[in-house]
Chain A
């Protein structure tokens, strides 16, 4: 998910491609459904767009471990604890698959990660909101993973082989994430009044940030056009957002929660739900680092990374010791 087409990435497309013929042929091939593999020739812009998008996606997965991870220790039942732990673990795995796919483009994970830790890289705005109650765990599964799945399914058809394959694997694993969230909320909605309030409060807080997850509107989205030509992103932000709202509104009815948007109503003519205006000012503030949790998230990861330096140095030293022993022993 989490590829919100954020253009202020760490890697800017600075050079123009020299080889116009190759580029035209490349775009022609991609349009014809040809899959690009790591060593194939590719326009520099394509490579950079992929690195930016894939690493943002990877960062989002690992940052996404934090808000939900905060509830593992407080999960209300052992069953829920196991589910949540397995889910957060999966998100770490997704980050790993995506970094690994990005590394096929000739960048190292450490460098990408350093960009994240030093605020040079973006990640999905959604994880900069706090998880304030147990219901948030359910709402994240239902809405946030729901939105993620919607965004990720088309990416399994992406023109870059390693990205597409990582997405296939990720989509398979995602399938339980959304369901567990919905089930959790449904259970709470059959509980006490207090529990129902908890769910409604959580939906109120997460609804709009989730709608923003699909990124800016198509008219304001800088990368949409070339991403489409290159087969990186085949469905636009607005199309995804509309799909998401169309499938989610009936689910909310079944659950018995209100979505905090008075403008949501079925439009017979369009065959879609209409919905209200997104507060794009808030979106850009969060994306630029001013969301409620941006600083906490980065700080948590930066601290963990720095505290891990001596560990990583030690295992490299040990591996070297072993090699020396092998040679002489």
Chain B
């Protein structure tokens, strides 16, 4: 009985850690697409910094995931040798960048959510997660700052930029549903993580609402959208991301890089 319960606990914790790791990695991969083609040189450099932060976060999390499993898989095994259905990231991370407005909107909503998660994990009953959260929170605070300022600048810029922000928002917003809809893993880990979706939502919506106000944009209503990347059911985009990302490891198994 006890053993069975511990096994579920470990499996759930692993899923949760992978959810965070995969979200960071896939968001980083998308962010890196901007490197070299951003609207201004300063932004090429800034977005690369964000991509590097996210990549670093995913690596810490994969290392933890590996330890949870007893070390049978390395960070690279996790990243390069899993198929789309084994990826547990939130779908918002895998959405195409679209134009700069859509990219900023997506990153603003996602990083704001990441910020609430990291803040909450500072109180978790798990020292590894607390350490990762403390480090990631500093980085994420900057991401929120960066992308909310873009959201405001573009929302309150020209008619064109405002229109593009509204279109980007229209596309991205429904995917935020997944942050807060029912989550058996969080429920089963509540004793450790001390994290509840409704508390996360309250914190997230508070931060986001302020930024919307500065951008003079109305908060969209909560959608009915079905979206469950965190359980391994993804959009069609993820397969393409992985095909590109995993190509070398798949084509030359066991190579030295």
Contacts and interface: CB of A to CB of B under 8 A. Distances in A.
Interface of A: 62, 65-66, 69, 72-82, 85-86, 88-89, 92-93, 95-96, 99, 134, 184, 187-188, 190-192, 194-195, 300-301, 303-304, 307-308, 310-315, 317-318, 321
Contacts of A89: 35, 44-45, 48-49, 52
B256 A191 contact: yes
A180 to B, nearest CB: 12
Contact of B256 (A190, A304, A308): A190
Interface stretch (B64-72, B120-128, B158-166): B158-166
Nearest to A191: B256
Interface majority SS (helix, strand, loop, mixed), chain A: helix
B41 A92 contact: yes
5 contacts: A65-B35, A73-B29, A96-B42, A192-B252, A318-B156
Please give me the 3 A-B residue pairs with the lowest Cβ-Cβ distance, nearest first: A314-B157, A308-B39, A314-B161
Contacts of B249: 76-77
A73 B257 contact: no
B257 A92 contact: no
B11 to A, nearest CB: 24
A93 B45 contact: yes
A85 B32 contact: yes
A66 to B, nearest CB: 6
Contacts of B58: 78
A192 B160 CA distance: 53
Contacts of B79: 78
Interface in B14-59: 25, 29, 32-33, 35-42, 44-45, 48-49, 51-52, 55-56, 58-59
B48 to A, nearest CB: 4
A82 B37 contact: no
B133 to A, nearest CB: 20
B164 A310 contact: yes
A313 B33 contact: no
B178 to A, nearest CB: 24
Given A74-B247, A78-B59, A308-B40, 19 more contacts: A65-B35, A69-B36, A73-B245, A78-B25, A78-B58, A82-B55, A82-B56, A85-B32, A92-B35, A187-B256, A190-B256, A191-B256, A192-B255, A194-B252, A301-B37, A310-B158, A310-B164, A311-B100, A313-B161
B227 interface: no
Contacts of B164: 310
B149 to A, nearest CB: 10
Contacts of A75: 248
Contact of B99 (A95, A195, A307, A312): A307
A78 B62 contact: yes
A79 B45 CA distance: 19
Given A74-B248, A96-B45, A184 B100 contact: no
A86 B36 contact: no
B201 to A, nearest CB: 30
B139 interface: no
Contact of B248 (A76, A88, A301): A76
B80 interface: yes
A323 B12 CA distance: 51
B51 A85 contact: yes
A89 B48 CA distance: 6
Given A192-B252, A308-B39, A77 B55 contact: no
